[in-house]
Structures are given as C-alpha cells and as structure tokens.
Amino acid sequence: KSEEDAAELLANGADKISINSPALNDPSLITRLAKSFGVQCVVVGIDSFKDENGNLKVFQYTGDEKTSKHSGKSTLEWVKEVQDLGAGEIVLNMMNQDGVKNGYDLEQLEAVYKICKVPLIASGGAGKM
C-alpha cells in the first residue's frame, strides 16, 4: 500500500511487489515504486471483467464480494496507463473466467497483449486449457 510496505517486503526476501487496488486509488504509487526499486520490481494486478456488451472494465477490492466494485476505468486504458507510470509486469485476472473451468478468455488476452509492452501474465481460466 506504500513505499514503506514495499521496502519491508523486499528487505525480507520478496523479489517483486504486486499492487492492485492501491494503484487504482493512487496511480502515482506505481511511479514512486518504480523510481525507488526499479520497474522490474513493480507488478500491477488488473482484475478485468467483461460486461454483457463486451466492454472490459477494471474492478477493485475483488477479494470481498461486498466491497468489489467497478473502478470507473476500462481495462485497455488502464493497461496503457500503468505502463506509462512504470509497471514492469502486468497480471491480467480475467474475472469472468476465474474458477469456472472454461479456459482463458483468449479474445480479451489478445486485446491486452496487443497494447502491452511489458511481460503479461494471464490469470483466471487455467482450469481448462
């Protein structure tokens, strides 16, 4: 949630820091972490939800159904923004596919891959490959 938290984790053996909702609340955190620890340390997790119209939306606080909500950002715009801010990797969690054993959303993955200039990790859908 902060540079101090990241420094403590790295000092205790972590190789990278993954942030999600804190980055949505304070996008400059990505830049501050990248400047302090290097872009190779900064992994931004993106919880992406495809709505009934096919729009890709970023959700936050997804660890709790009561607090989970749309962040107001589109997935593709957020992917571009986090890269510009200094993210060294992106973990794309395709929420619609997570835990349903239907495989990855390859259409969504391809759309993100086309604009992603940093390593991209797919999440949500590995139950069926």
Q: What is the pLDDT along the chain (129 residues), one digit of tens a residue?
A: 789 999 999 999 999 999 999 999 999 999 999 999 999 999 999 999 999 999 999 988 777 777 766 778 999 999 999 999 999 999 999 887 766 667 788 899 999 999 999 999 998 877 665
Bridge-partner residues for 123, per DSSP?
93
Residues whose CB is less than 8 angstroms from the CB of residue 114 and which lie 6 or more positions away in sequence, other chains included: none
Instruction: Please report the pLDDT score of residue 103 as a whole number.
Output: 74
Instruction: Please report the pLDDT score of residue 55 as a whole number.
Output: 94
**61 half-sphere exposure, CB direction, 13 A CA radius:** 10
Is 61 exposed, middle or buried (CB count within 10 Å of its CB: 0-12, 13-18, 19+)? middle
Instruction: Please report the pLDDT score of residue 82 as a whole number.
Output: 98
What is the distance, to the nearest Å, from the Cα of residue 36 to the centroid of all Cα atoms in its chain? Answer: 20
Instruction: Please report the pLDDT score of residue 66 as a whole number.
Output: 79
Q: Tell me: domain 3-123, CATH 3.30.1490.20, correct?
A: no
**71 half-sphere exposure, CB direction, 13 A CA radius:** 24
What is the rounded distance in angstroms from the CA atom of residue 69 to the CA atom of residue 18?
20
Instruction: Please report the pLDDT score of residue 113 as a whole number.
Output: 96
Instruction: Please report the pLDDT score of residue 128 as a whole number.
Output: 63
pTM of the model: 0.89
| CA 54 to each of CA 2, 49, 99: distance values in angstroms, whole numbers, following the listed order | 34, 9, 20
